[in-house]
Amino acid sequence: MSARLVRRWSSARPQDRIVYRDVGSVPPSHVDAEWIAAAFSPPEKRSDEQHARLAESDRLIAELMAADLVVVGAPMYNFGMPAPLKAWLDNIVRVGVTFGFDRKRAGEPYWPMLPAGKRLVVLGARGDYGYDPGGRQADANFVEVGLKAPLAYIGLRDATSIAIEYDEFADERLARSIAAAEGAVDALVDRLIGERAEPLSARPLSPVG
């Protein structure tokens, strides 16, 4: 679905720059104690080793900061997202860079730091069915909530999700689900492009996954 979205977008707007990151083939490093110590240290007090430990996070965040539209391909693995995608998420949710925190701040001590106006599209695939709101297994869908909650926390609050289901059944229900999802992707792209009266900036559309 992410490839379909990008093809349709590129056909309508060939001038837009697209950045592709396959976290499955090239997984980001997982966050560990050294990463956390570096991230929570003031930049001016970080050692060379700490700066190096955060270099990958810096690159991933720079991509996110530059993007107008973030497209995440997120298959469901055991009710949640794949580990490489979670590693990407952990690298970009970073104090002082994508969200702020001040325990002395009146009211809400946390605030998002991503530039306003970005949009998120989550494209999923599930072996079983009934994971959408109101479905038989909606409470077990930790993919969309696991992505949307932390991404909204840093400022990506305009989110749309589309998913294919019935993959394990491989019958006519899967065929119908694929057709419906592809139609929804096409309609979404047409709507998003139609809403842009002015050309996109030079910032990238970034499919991730």
Annotated binding site: which residue ranges?
Answer: 11, 76-79
* Residue 7 to residue 109: CA distance in whole angstroms: 41
Tokens describing residue 65: 């900061």
- Phi, psi at 49, each rounded to 5°: -65, -40
Type and span of the H or E element at 50: helix 48-53
Contact 5, 207 (CB under 8 A): yes
- The annotated binding site for FMN is made up of 11, 76-79
Type and span of the H or E element at 118: none
In 1-98, where do the E strands start and end? Answer: 69-75
Could you identify the residue written with the tokens 């980001």? 28
